[in-house]
Amino acid sequence: MVVKLYGQITAACPQRVLLCFLEKGIEFEIIHIDLDTFEQKKPEHLLRQPFGQVPAIEDGDFKLFESRAIARYYATKFADQGTNLLGKSLEHRAIVDQWADVETYYFNVLAQPIVINLIIKPRLGEKCDVVLVEDLKVKLGVVLDIYNNRLSSNRFLAGEEFTMADLTHMPAMGYLMSITDINQMVKARGSFNRWWEEISDRPSWKKLMVLAGH
């Protein structure tokens, strides 16, 4: 029996889990939850995810939500299969966790409202908060400078190998790179751009983009 992933394949958080599955060679089945019709807010899905978001997984009797917790569970369960996403020693795992947390507290807090305002709201016919977006872009520039500095002396965020710390950034990065002036902000930062070009060249990312219809 394969793991069932409830979500929409074009949405960032399900993509985080899918990238983990693809990196680890884990078979999966996607059960589409239609975000455009707010299926994630309906009672049936709220039983899987009480905050009304995607993804959620069912693996036999085992159920989980929160994409980063799901990715970590499968990276642990299949530690010896596919890419080692968690880190090799206690200390390396701590550095992976550190940069994965940076994604939550510094990167996603800016990237998510930018993507919501510039990509999601237009799709839903809602108005974008232009003032907010300009403020977020300035803050993003400051954060990307720190990443650029980190990646000037490290091939990947946690060191010389691709880990969960890099993977967790990829879905939002995919969206951000479709926004012209953010694309330029990335390209203006040599090491950060080098990192994005390398990780978006991975077979898992290319496969995900095909699955998502790009």
Per rule CB under 8 A, is residue 107 in the interface with other proteins?
A: no
CA angle 15, 19, 21 (to 5 degrees): 115
Q: Which one-letter amino acid corresponds to residue 9? A: I
* 11 or 102: CB nearest other proteins: 102
* 102 or 176: CB nearest other proteins: 102
**Among 4, 9, 30, 66, which residue sits at the site for other proteins (rule: CB under 8 A)?**
66
The Cα–Cα gap between 13 and 56 comes to 10
Per rule CB under 8 A, is residue 90 in the interface with other proteins?
A: yes
**Among 30, 109, 116, 177, which residue sits at the site for other proteins (rule: CB under 8 A)?**
109
**Among 30, 95, 211, 212, which residue sits at the site for other proteins (rule: CB under 8 A)?**
95
Q: How far is the CB of 17 from other proteins (least distance, A)?
A: 12
Phi and psi angles of residue 61, each rounded to the nearest 5 degrees, phi first: -85, -10
Per rule CB under 8 A, is residue 42 in the interface with other proteins?
A: no
Per rule CB under 8 A, is residue 73 in the interface with other proteins?
A: yes
The Cα–Cα gap between 13 and 21 comes to 13
* Binding positions for other proteins, 137-196, rule CB under 8 A: 146, 149-150
* 77 or 155: CB nearest other proteins: 77
Give me the DSSP letters along 155-205: SBTTBSS--HHHHTTHHHHHHHTTSHHHHHHHHTSHHHHHHHHHHTTSHHH
The half-sphere exposure of 52 on its side-chain side, counting CA atoms within 13 A, is 7
3-state secondary structure at position 33: coil
Per rule CB under 8 A, is residue 98 in the interface with other proteins?
A: yes
CB 175 within 8 A of CB 12: yes
Number of H helices, E strands in the chain: 12, 4
Q: How far is CA 214 from CA 30, 144, 178, in A?
A: 17, 26, 12
Contacts with other proteins by CB under 8 A: the residue count is 30
Per rule CB under 8 A, is residue 28 in the interface with other proteins?
A: no
Per rule CB under 8 A, is residue 81 in the interface with other proteins?
A: no
Q: Which one of the spans 18-26, 69-77, 133-141, 182-190 is the region binding other proteins (CB under 8 A)?
A: 69-77
> Which residue ranges make up the site for other proteins (CB under 8 A)?
50-51, 62, 64-66, 68-70, 72-73, 76-77, 90-91, 93-95, 97-98, 100-102, 104-106, 109, 146, 149-150
